[in-house]
Amino acid sequence: MINIFKQSELYVFYDGVNTYRYTTGMREIIINDNTYIKESINRTSIKRDASLSKNKITITMPITNEVVKQWITPDISKYLLVDIYTLDRNYQTTISWSGRLTQTSVSDNEMGMTFELLITRTAQTGVNDRVQRNCRYSLYSERCGLNRENFKIMGEVTSYKNDVLSLIFEKEVPSGYFSGGIVQVPNGEQTFIKNHYETSITLFRHNQQIVDNLRNGITSVALYKGCSRTLASCATFNNTLNYGGFPYLPLEPLNSGHSIV
């Protein structure tokens, strides 16, 4: 007799606000008052490699899935975590893998979501946060604590070539104001800003949506102030209490770089 429960997996996705629960089993189930919805989910095999960069999996779900709908247009200021559990015939669950979303790819019918291993959630040892001078938090993330809407300025695109946007800003800002910031087009697609000089900004990657919008006469974009992740830059946001770096670390390593253990 085939044990369908032992072959089933549970997937729990969490974006910091919402939790989505799914099962690959034959029907919806309830465990500890939590409902797991039956869903068509496929994934690549789980690897256990000394190189953390190789410990990735890709989860594929239908384009109609609620999690997929939220990430059709990725929000680079947000995150998505997943816990994968195995389920035995006694409805006992065992966590088998945890990860953080790093990449998505979309086809007509489904989305592939690549997750990297989140070692601190799988009871493994490893470095989670670094002790460094610069801030280790993503700008406008939960740990950063800033509301990016308070630092938004609208702009009108006059040209876009070789990842360089020329714009007219709704108000005057100094060069560098948007360096390290974000540009967002009306449909929600966002791109990091590499550099800002006068009325030009350079993007980290090509943004096809901006090209398509310009062809359709849509020139409006939203721009969000950038940060160089230094204490001085953090102070321009009046946010030093949330600074995620250690700016007063000694310039030279303690004990000449030798272990003190």
Kindly write down the DSSP assignment for every residue of 46-82, as one continuous string: P---SSGGG-EEEEEEETTSHHHHHHSS--TT---EE
Residue 73 near residue 188 (C-beta atoms within 8 A): yes
Three-state DSSP state, 223: strand
Using DSSP, state whether 4 is helix, strand or coil: helix
User: Quick one: DSSP state of residue 44?
Assistant: P
What pLDDT is stored for residue 123 in this prediction? 42
Residue 111 to residue 80: CA distance in whole angstroms: 14
Burial class (CB in 10 A: 0-12, 13-18, 19+), 139: buried
Q: pTM for the whole thing?
A: 0.56
Residue (of 49, 51, 43, 47) closest to 82 by Cα position: 43
Ramachandran quadrant class, 88 (left: phi over 0; alpha: psi -120 to 50; beta: rest):
beta
Residue 41 CB coordination number (10 Å): 17
Q: Residue 188 and residue 56: Cα distance in Å, rounded? A: 27
pLDDT at 77 (0 to 100) = 66
DSSP code, position 45: P
Q: Are β-strands 19-23 and 34-38 bridged in parallel, bridged antiparallel, or unpaired?
A: parallel
Q: Give per-residue pLDDT as tens, 75-100.
A: 666 789 998 988 877 777 777 888 88
Residue 254 DSSP code: G
User: 216-253: per-residue pLDDT in tens?
Assistant: 998 899 999 999 989 999 999 999 999 988 888 777 66
Residue ranges for the chain with pLDDT beneath 70: 1-7, 48-54, 75-77, 119-130, 252-261
Which strand (E) or helix (H) includes residue 13? strand 9-14
Domains of the chain: 4-121 (2.40.10), 148-242 (2.40.10)
pLDDT for 119 equals 59
**Ramachandran bin of 193, using left for φ above 0, alpha for ψ from -120 to 50, beta for the remaining angles:** beta
What is the model's pLDDT at position 208?
Answer: 79
Alpha helices in the chain (DSSP H): 4-7, 66-71, 208-215, 231-235
pLDDT at 58: 94
Environment class of residue 95 by beta-carbon count within 10 Å: exposed (0-12), middle (13-18) or buried (19+)? middle
Q: How far apart, in whole angstroms, are the C-alpha atoms of residue 129 and residue 102?
A: 17
